[in-house]
Amino acid sequence: MKHIKFSRESLLLYAVTDRAWIGRQTLYEQIEDALQGGVTILQLREKNMDEQSFVKEAIEIKELCRKYGVPLIIDDNVEVALKSGADGVHVGIEDTPVAEIRKKAGSDFIIGATAKTIEQAQRAEADGADYLGVGAVFPSPTKKNAIRITAAQLKEICASVSIPAVAIGGISLENISEISGCGMSGIAVVSAIFAADDIKSAVAELKQKAAAAVQGNIL
């Protein structure tokens, strides 16, 4: 199955799902609102789901993402990503090594890797990662124990590699300007999208601010 084309521009507004805010809407409905609002890439994150259910859900979400021409990335689980035909996987520092995934998944499969240091960033690039997730740049409501990095460190990490990077961790409409011009290609957000009362308009506003921050402007 052909994967959706991935580029640096795909990373502008990277939505990461979280079931913490479902209730009024299903996760599927929330994701559709986010896609309609203009997210450019979506990561499906399920920490407490068995593999069979995860694959089934990933296939449904993949079909939805296809409709909007947006790549679907699976968090951590390479098997789920491959079985569901998702466009790629994002792995943390403790997860399956990037080089191993690349060997198994082929060249058109998108691999994202977390990096908190220049060394980790350069290793991920050398091993074949397509992009980096760099953070946490602010205190994260979804990952309480996440290691923080400064805006200066974000800038250094982005400058140390030729692959694109997204800033992640507690990014909101209120603080995004603090990382403007740090060299990232986009921002990855969880609660700023999925905890919003109106997901569609939150996404539209975030996308505008993300574009300004990537260009080094402040809105």
To the question of pTM greater than 0.95 for the whole model, the response is: yes
Kindly report the average pLDDT of the chain as a whole number. Answer: 96
Kindly report whether the peptide bond that precedes residue 136 is cis, defined as omega within 30 degrees of 0.
yes
Give the pLDDT confidence of 141-180 residue by residue, as tens digits.
777 788 899 999 999 999 999 999 999 999 999 999 999 9
Give the pLDDT confidence of 17-70 residue by residue, as tens digits.
999 999 889 999 999 999 999 999 999 999 999 999 999 999 999 999 999 999
Instruction: Annotate 8-32 with b (16+ C-beta within 10 A) or e (fewer).
Output: eebbbbbbbbbeebeeeeebeebbb
Helix (H) or strand (E) segment spanning residue 157: helix 151-159
Alpha-carbon span 73 to 75, nearest angstrom: 7
Going from the C-alpha of 42 to that of each of 9, 80, 91, 106, the distances in angstroms are 13, 15, 14, 20
Structure tokens at 112: 């994202």
Angle at alpha carbon of residue 191, lines to 94 and 176, rounded to 5°: 90
